[in-house]
Structure 1
Amino acid sequence: MTQTLHNKLFRVWNYLFNFDYVLIFLLLTLFAVNIFIQYSANDQNMTRMYNDVFYLALSFGLMIIIAGINISKIRAAALPLYVLSLVLIALVLLIGVRVNGAQRWLNLGIRIQPSELCKLAVPLLVAYVISIKDHILSYKDYLVGFVIIAIPFAMIAKQPDLGTGILVFAAGFFVLFFAGLPWKVMIISLIGIVASSPLIWSFLLKDYQKHRLLTLIDPQSDPLGKGYHIIQGIIA
């Protein structure tokens, strides 16, 4: 009985104190900076600040719980989560709710945005595919990673939701980057993107997306419209 209790206490101790405390400190610092900026930008609104603190604390608690899940279970969930996210995004394109010209949500009694699931599913599957390789990663392996990223990116951009698509792409790309993606590949990709930018601008981007990019570069071009919040953020 005493030995069993000792083992349980040891597991709890090991779970609570076997974390990367540098990472936790950096996260808490980012949380604090975020709350301060939000408080300043929202005219010292205490109610909004309390809500921010609550949701950040909730998110941090969920992070601690998820960090304790066995890594084998997380790996096993990678492919099902990815497939589920693609199925849900396909349903969005077919029967999704359209709001302000964008079809990004599913109405299942409550509105859900399946593209949010991709922010988790894409880097998780890319990491899983890389981790099961028993050799130095080849260009073919990186190509598989890019295909995993490109499919949901294209589907999300079709909604259209280029902003979320870029975030999903970045989440997967940085997994490849930290896995050792060769600089030559990144430079060639960057050159390709720059070279194709006129075509992307002319044929792929919607008018509102072009307007947002132009406003980001020069917020004073629309100070009372798209550039308003950027200008207010600079002032704050």
Structure 2
Amino acid sequence: MSHVFDKPSLWQRIKPWFAGFDLPLSLAILWLMVLGLICMYSAGYDSGTRFPDHLRNTFLSIGIIFVVAQIPPQRMMALAIPLYTLGVTLLVATAVFGITRKGATRWLNVGVVIQPSELLKIAMPLMLAWWFQKREGQLRLPDFIAAFALLTVPVGLVAKQPDLGTAILVLSAGLYVIFFAGLSWRLIIPAFVVGAAAITAVVMTEDQICQPEAKWPVLREYQKNRICTLLDPSKDPLGKGFHIIQGEIAIGSGGMTGKGFMKGTQTHLEFIPERTTDFIFAAFGEEFGLFGALGLLVGFTALILRGLFIASDAPTLFSRLMAGAVTLSFFTYVFVNMGMVSGILPVVGVPLPFISYGGTAMVTLGVGLGLLMSISKSRRLIQS
């Protein structure tokens, strides 16, 4: 009978923490993290502490994924209102008391300097997923109107800072939740038609609307310049068009197989601006070429497809909406970053997940992917 009193081993104690972890999702994340470390070592080894900091941030993200994965989705749902309220309150405080750098008021000193808009990348879809979960089975048009109102407030505050990149990410995360909640295609298709018509009109009238004296409603002057530069970067190749042109040169010069690890001339001669942050894909493409870029895309595609599978198989409406929004938000990061570096989208401050340098972005990604892991674990535990 002595075996009855045997203490469980250390592995037996911690094994439940790993039970139900999604292996395909874990492998995709690990692949992207490894590529990110390789790329950051090459692009940032001579940029102070960029590589050691990125290594630290990567392990921090792993820890956050692991911790958040232990929290059941039901408990996450209880945090929706507090996190959303806190985020909006901090955005209002930023507008009133915030720190201004380079013409943007995005930071707030609360003992430490923080960027409150980052919180909304998670709090916004969390709040809307909670909203639709509470109205499951009885959704009406006023519920969608209220959801748009909840979305408009933080997006407007972030855009006013101004921070167009983060505003796009918060807006897209909220719109994904609203779409998955069942927004009618009769409302979605007209929005796409209007957007396509607006883009066509901008392209067709470039010569008139991109004149220095032309004023654009709503958008600021620098945002107008980014769009006009996208349409024709050669008009100011050493000024506003420099980022796009150098990014395209770097990617194109990589060819099929790339110039080799740590052999990128555009990268190491510092022709690529922000080569460890927003434009790191240009550095990656130069050194690893088309085949390397395809390997990176395989990792992103595997993660996104796995996330959508987790969303489709989630046990509750809240879980489905949250998993779908997190996954497509990840897609938005990738599409916007690669698009702006490749010259098909205007330049905005959106990092490439796990590849770009940035501690705050790593934390946000870690929380989002931890939520995906938590939802996957909850489904597995129900099935077992």
Task: Report if aligned partners of 1:39, 1:45 keep a CA contact under 8 Å in 2.
Answer: no
CA shift in 2, pair 1:102/1:172, >3 Å: same
SS in 2 for 1:131: helix
Counterpart of 2:69 in structure 1 is 67
Counterpart of 2:183 in structure 1 is 181
1:55 is the counterpart of 2:26: no
CA shift in 2, pair 1:101/1:45, >3 Å: closer
Could you tell me how far apart the structure 2 residues matched to 1:88 and 1:204 are?
24
Task: Report if aligned partners of 1:39, 1:46 keep a CA contact under 8 Å in 2.
Answer: no
Counterpart of 1:141 in structure 2 is 143
Could you tell me how far apart the structure 1 residues matched to 2:246 and 2:30 are?
26
**1:10-42 deviation line (CA, Å, top 9, x unaligned):** 673233031222222222233334344445555
Counterpart of 1:228 in structure 2 is 242
Amino acid at match of 2:156: A
Deviation at 1:95, TM superposition (A): 1.5
Counterpart of 2:112 in structure 1 is 110
CA shift in 2, pair 1:12/1:181, >3 Å: farther
**1:203-223 deviation line (CA, Å, top 9, x unaligned):** 111001111222334443333
SS in 2 for 1:203: coil
**More helix by proportion, 1 or 2?**
1
Cα RMSD over matched residues? Answer: 3.2
Could you tell me how far apart the structure 2 residues matched to 1:36 and 1:186 are?
41
**1:95-114 deviation line (CA, Å, top 9, x unaligned):** 21222222111123332111
Deviation at 1:143, TM superposition (A): 2.7
Could you tell me how far apart the structure 2 residues matched to 1:124 and 1:91 are?
22
Deviates more, 1:42-51 or 1:107-116: 42-51
Length-normalised TM-score, structure 2 = 0.53
SS in 2 for 1:147: helix
Could you tell me how far apart the structure 2 residues matched to 1:214 and 1:182 are?
34
Deviation at 1:68, TM superposition (A): 0.6
Counterpart of 1:24 in structure 2 is 26
Could you tell me how far apart the structure 2 residues matched to 1:27 and 1:222 are?
39
Amino acid at match of 2:167: G
1:209 is the counterpart of 2:211: no
Task: Report if aligned partners of 2:216, 2:224 keep a CA contact under 8 Å in 1.
Answer: no
Could you tell me how far apart the structure 2 residues matched to 1:7 and 1:127 are?
40
* Same amino acid, percent of matched pairs: 37
Deviates more, 1:188-197 or 1:139-148: 188-197
Deviation at 1:179, TM superposition (A): 3.4
1:156 is the counterpart of 2:158: yes
Amino acid at match of 2:64: L
Structure 1, unmatched stretches of 5+, are none
Deviation at 1:56, TM superposition (A): 1.7
Counterpart of 1:100 in structure 2 is 102
Higher RCO, Cα 8 Å, sep 6+:
2
Task: Report if aligned partners of 1:156, 1:162 keep a CA contact under 8 Å in 2.
Answer: yes
Counterpart of 1:81 in structure 2 is 83
**How many residues of Structure 1 are paired with residues of Structure 2 in the alignment?**
235
CA shift in 2, pair 1:46/1:79, >3 Å: same
Could you tell me how far apart the structure 2 residues matched to 1:222 and 1:2 are?
78
Task: Report if aligned partners of 1:93, 1:103 keep a CA contact under 8 Å in 2.
Answer: yes
Amino acid at match of 1:68: Q
